[in-house]
Amino acid sequence: MSIVSNSLKRIKPSPTIAVTSKAREMKAAGKNVIGLGAGEPDFDTPDNIKEAAIQAIKNGETKYTAVDGTPKLKQAIKEKFLRENNLNYDLDQISVGTGGKQVLYNAFMATLNPGDEVIIPAPYWVSYPDMVLLAGGKPRIIKCSEKNEFKITSKELKKAINKKTKWIIINSPSNPTGSCYTKNELTELSKILLKNKKIYILSDDIYEHITYDNFKFFTIAQINALKDRTLTMNGVSKSYSMTGWRIGYGAGPKEIIKAMAKIQSQSTTNPSSISQAAAVEALNGTQDFIKIRSNSFKERRDFVVESINNIKGLSCLNPNGAFYIFPNCKNLLGKKTKLKTDKDFVEKLLEKAEVAVVQGSAFGLDGYFRISYATSMDNLKKAMERIKSFCENLI
């Protein structure tokens, strides 16, 4: 008889972390692996944010804080939402967690009952379905077409909704595709959601500031009639290169925020006091570097997209945000190449070309793979050469 709980048996380890760990093992063994699997910026945390953390330590800000965030950080988050998104929240409508992942996890744990369904457009971030399963809910996966830039349409949403639907997740800019929902597209989705008043919306905005080509970011809570049913999650990990600091935050209905705090009080309690002080500076301090870094990401995106589209057997869209592309590798699967699945493709790519990427099936859509271009241009150039050589040898 296994000691492991049945709920844990329903989920799987994170595929993205598995790929990154495998690449690290190969590097440690002397292999010249280029990792394009990790979802974190290669830029360092800005100095003003580091200095704020150092000062917090010197000032003795090293004790427990309020469970779901210090008043000072909540105030900074409140001002961020008002300044950047024209959204006004009270402090008791804001929750701070140990990374954006905990905010999402807390929300599902606090709201889902057995049988409740969560609509998850695919491709999706790998953790969404497993968090829903752990909370006792049921993921309802809606596979989205490449023709629609991997975004759910109002027609698909309408068809997916039933009496058990409790949440829908919207992730824009998207991990793994980089696709972004326009204001018009979110407005069309809102028409369906306004007719279904019992459904809540979880908007994952973690890549909000990483957009290109003059794309204008819009979040669905800005549609006033939906604000009271929307939990908007964001954080400092991606935009401020603070993945290791572990600070995410959410804003939404008071009842949900209060319930999330109750969950957090019995799990991690408060996020790091030092990280919270650093996050205050991140949100209140200069934002100039964000545009500069986004320009660097855009240069990399342009190079990688062009390179992939010049490799026979591969193709990919040119996304408006995040730091991922999601190439189509279906033409390289089959009897001719002896590769049956996208998982076979990425495993063979790692083995033969020493380039680590993540299979599309990990994100809920077969026949694709994800490239993170959050690494140096030198690494990207070498990786594209290796991928091209690998694919040419398959055909």
pLDDT at position 289 over 80: yes
How far is 122 from 146, CA to CA, in rounded Å?
Answer: 10
Average pLDDT on 68-90 reads 98
Q: Which fold has domain 63-284?
A: Aspartate Aminotransferase; domain 2 (3.40.640)
pLDDT at position 5 over 90: no
Burial track 245-278 (b if 16+ CB lie within 10 A, e otherwise): bbbbbbbbeeebbebbbebbeeebebbbbbbbbb
Which superfamily does CATH assign the domain made up of 6-44+289-394 to? Aspartate Aminotransferase, domain 1 (3.90.1150.10)
Concatenated DSSP letters for 309-357? HTSTT-B----SBTTEE--B-GGG-BTTTTB-SHHHHHHHHHHHH-EE-
pLDDT at position 196 over 90: yes
pLDDT at position 1 over 90: no
pLDDT at position 27 over 90: no
How far is 210 from 39, CA to CA, in rounded Å?
Answer: 13
Please identify which residue in the block is written with the tokens 């905010």: 103
Between β-strands 200-204 and 165-171, what pairing exists: parallel, antiparallel or unpaired? Answer: parallel
How far is 338 from 332, CA to CA, in rounded Å?
Answer: 9
Q: 279 pLDDT band (50/70/90 cuts)?
A: very high
* Per-residue confidence (pLDDT) for residue 105, from 0 to 100: 98
Structure confidence by residue, pLDDT tens digits, 298-325:
999 999 999 999 999 999 999 999 999 9
Between β-strands 248-251 and 230-235, what pairing exists: parallel, antiparallel or unpaired? Answer: antiparallel
Average pLDDT on 215-230 reads 97
* Per-residue confidence (pLDDT) for residue 197, from 0 to 100: 94
Tell me the whole-structure pTM to 2 decimals. 0.96
pLDDT at position 19 over 80: no
Average pLDDT on 122-145 reads 97
Average pLDDT on 264-292 reads 98
Q: Percent of the chain having pLDDT more than 70? A: 100
pLDDT at position 13 over 90: no
* Per-residue confidence (pLDDT) for residue 39, from 0 to 100: 87
* Per-residue confidence (pLDDT) for residue 10, from 0 to 100: 81
* Per-residue confidence (pLDDT) for residue 387, from 0 to 100: 98
Average pLDDT on 63-77 reads 98
What single-letter DSSP state applies at residue 368?
B
Average pLDDT on 339-343 reads 96
* Per-residue confidence (pLDDT) for residue 4, from 0 to 100: 86
- Closest to 297 (Cα-Cα) out of 182, 183, 213, 387: 213
* Per-residue confidence (pLDDT) for residue 14, from 0 to 100: 77
Average pLDDT on 98-110 reads 98
Structure confidence by residue, pLDDT tens digits, 159-188:
999 999 999 999 999 999 999 999 999 999
- Within 10 A of 177 (CB to CB), how many other CB atoms are there? 28
Domain boundaries, the chain: 6-44+289-394, 63-284
CA angle, corner 337, sides to 331 and 339, nearest 5?
85
* Per-residue confidence (pLDDT) for residue 8, from 0 to 100: 83
Q: Percent of the chain having pLDDT more than 90? A: 91
* Per-residue confidence (pLDDT) for residue 23, from 0 to 100: 82
* Per-residue confidence (pLDDT) for residue 115, from 0 to 100: 94
CA angle, corner 296, sides to 294 and 298, nearest 5?
70
- Closest to 311 (Cα-Cα) out of 237, 189, 196, 395: 395
Average pLDDT, the chain: 96
